[in-house]
Structure 1
């Protein structure tokens, strides 16, 4: 088993108290757990992928424009990694096994070269962390399942603004796509 860590949307807009589409306290509570997970992968020299949502301001063609307030706008602080994860990333960003990929849809696989990068490295297992459990983490996990990756979801590294959706997604990961939820 060769693993990679996928960090989904852990940005100021999704996590900070004043974020444009924040999950707030639940997202803030997992910060140290994600930080520690990155340190674990770094020390093992395993691949780490930061997948970050991005939008253009006032984009009338993006489907999320009708669903959510503007968030993760290119060139804004809202799109920066939240708190200590930003400085941690700045320290490791030049390592050969650390990748930053922009994404324009919920899934980290849609419209990105994530699958190619994973396959080139012979990675068969993805550990997915970040926010929101029932939106972007969920869609990323379902696509990973459809691409035949083994999936690990650490409960203490995912969060949502919707507790019922969070709980449902954790059950769905385990019961419907065979993920290991630990």
Structure 2
């Protein structure tokens, strides 16, 4: 029997919130937005749980092709866009914010340096889109031997079919746990061991 680590606050798990600080003004956003709003409610609960347990919260956000963008500008643009997701998930002052130029949160960012500095060994991946940026980030995390929990109710894609397809790949090829967070995902803090 494994020891009870449900009160572990060592910070070895980090919550990643992928591309949720967003104006949702791109092609396909109309289909994605209702699902992203539902996922945002779950992510807000997971964020609260992470903070309570002392785990770092890391926003991993696309620069949307705006190469002069930085944290405050991206957040302001999302808030000015009036989308409720940005208000619900607005980063706190102490949260980390990583800007990515491509699909994966690891590609050409400081995330590969930040996570070891924080002592992180397990990641909770949330956000959009399940079948693009979440999937690519999960693949890079798996190659770096991070444990993964991708709560199926905390990610969204343009269609449920695409989301299920991507979650299946992450579960079967990357040993990710894809159980939904449900009631704040208490049983998955810290992340269950995979493999």
- Structure 1: 5+ residue stretches without partners: 60-72
**Separation (CA, whole Å) in 2 of partners of 1:174 and 1:101:** 25
**2:26 match:** 20
* 2:18 match: 8
Contact 1:33 1:157 in 2 (8 A): yes
Gaps of 5+ in 2: 1-9, 68-72, 180-195
Shift, 1:11, TM fit: 3.0
- Does residue 77 in structure 1 map to residue 77 in structure 2? yes
Q: What is the CA–CA distance in structure 2 between the aligned matches of 1:27 and 1:79, rounded to whole Å?
A: 16
Conserved 8 A contact 1:55-1:74: no
Distance 1:79 1:109, change over 3 A: farther
With over 3 angstroms needed to count, the CA separation of the structure-2 counterparts of 1:106 and 1:80, relative to structure 1, is farther
Q: Distance in 2 between matches of 1:45 and 1:75?
A: 24
Q: Which residue does 2:43 correspond to in 1?
A: 34
Structure 2 counterpart SS, 1:26: helix
CA distance in 1 between counterparts of 2:167 and 2:154 reads 12
- What number of residue pairs does the alignment pair up? 160
Distance of 2:119 and 2:75 partners within structure 1: 34
Report the alpha carbon displacement of residue 87 of structure 1 after superposing the two structures with TM. 5.7
> What corresponds to 1:99 in structure 2?
96
Aligned pairs (5 A) from 1:14-163: 14=24, 19-21=25-27, 22=29, 23-56=32-65, 77-78=77-78, 82-83=83-84, 85-86=86-87, 88-90=89-91, 92-93=92-93, 95=94, 98-163=95-160
CA RMSD of aligned residues (A): 2.5
Task: Measure the CA separation in 2 of the matches of 1:169 and 1:87.
Answer: 25
Per the TM alignment, residue 47 of structure 1 is displaced from its structure 2 partner at its CA by 0.6
Deviation at 1:83, TM superposition (A): 2.2
Contact 1:54 1:79 in 2 (8 A): no
Name the CA shift for 1:135/1:84 in 2 (closer, same or farther; >3 Å): closer
C-alpha deviation, 1:56, in angstroms: 3.6
